[in-house]
Amino acid sequence: DVESPFVLSALAGDMAGEVEPALAEKGIHVISNASAMRMEANVPLMIPEINGDHISLVDSQSTKGKIITNPNCATVFLSMGLAPLMSLGKITHVSVVTLQAISGAGYPGIPSMDIMGNIIPFIGGEEDKINQEALKILGSAGKDADFSITTHVHRVPVIHGHTVAMHVSFDQDVKVDDALSVLNNWEERFPKAFKIYTEEDRPQPAKDLTEFDQFAHIGRIKQGGRKNIIGLISMGHNLVRGAAGAAIANLELAVQKLKV
């Protein structure tokens, strides 16, 4: 019975797969945090600062209303860490380790005796989501990026804040100073989305996250074991920029770009 020109969807995946297309058929634009439609070829999977131009994919959606999605929470911080580095050269492979907060498991979450003083090196379906979604985001509209990703995910006893450690391999040598310069440029371009740290022990969820935090906090930028590898950390609030705040960012772009 919704009559709004836009809706924000936070439905479970199976329900979203039915309800979101039905709303689009009615002429309602759907901005979705659900996973059901993310990998459809004509559905934008967007982080506005990175691939806002992918909104053009909605032109091939047959419904009057359009569907736009935001990524899995850990995918957001992986993609925001990688996107600036793509200007340094051709990426060939990315090795990823995530440390994901317990709030990402939803309510009531994980039994305390399973997570207190422990690390769980598995989250069902998460690794495939991260790999597939990041390549869609970092490619061109309708074509995935052409590098490979290997991901290990971990649930850790942190309330809020997903930390993504990555080692990025290029087809040529890359200098840390150049990587830092590119990241600082992105922080200047998007001061509400990127925070770059040079302290050796930052970023940290407990020290650097705020309640309504929309930032990718990026630090620990270093040379890898070979001169063509750059290592870094990208961390952010999994319930804000990784979920509800990501949908709101997409809504703000959609209001500018879509007809109502």
User: What is the enclosing helix (H) or strand (E) of 21?
Assistant: helix 13-25
Q: Is 78 exposed, middle or buried, given 0-12, 13-18 or 19+ CB atoms closer than 10 A?
A: buried
165 contacts: CB under 8 Å, gap ≥ 6: 96, 97, 98, 99, 220, 231, 232, 233
Instruction: Given the residues 29, 54, 73, 237, select the one marked as catalytic.
Output: 73
Q: Which of 29, 54, 160, 162 is catalytic?
A: 162
203 and 195 Cβ atoms separated by less than 8 Å: yes
Asked if 196 and 189 count as a contact pair (C-beta separation under 8 A), the reply is no
Residue 54 annotated in active site: no
DSSP β-bridge partners for residue 143: 140
**C-alpha 209, offset from chain centre:** 16
List, in order, residues 6 or more apart from 103 with CB less than 8 Å away.
109, 159, 160, 238, 239
Residue 152 annotated to the active site: no
Q: For residues 93 and 108, what is the distance between their CA atoms, to the nearest angstrom? A: 36
d(CA 15, CA 10): 10
CA gyration radius for the chain? 18
Active site residues: 73, 162
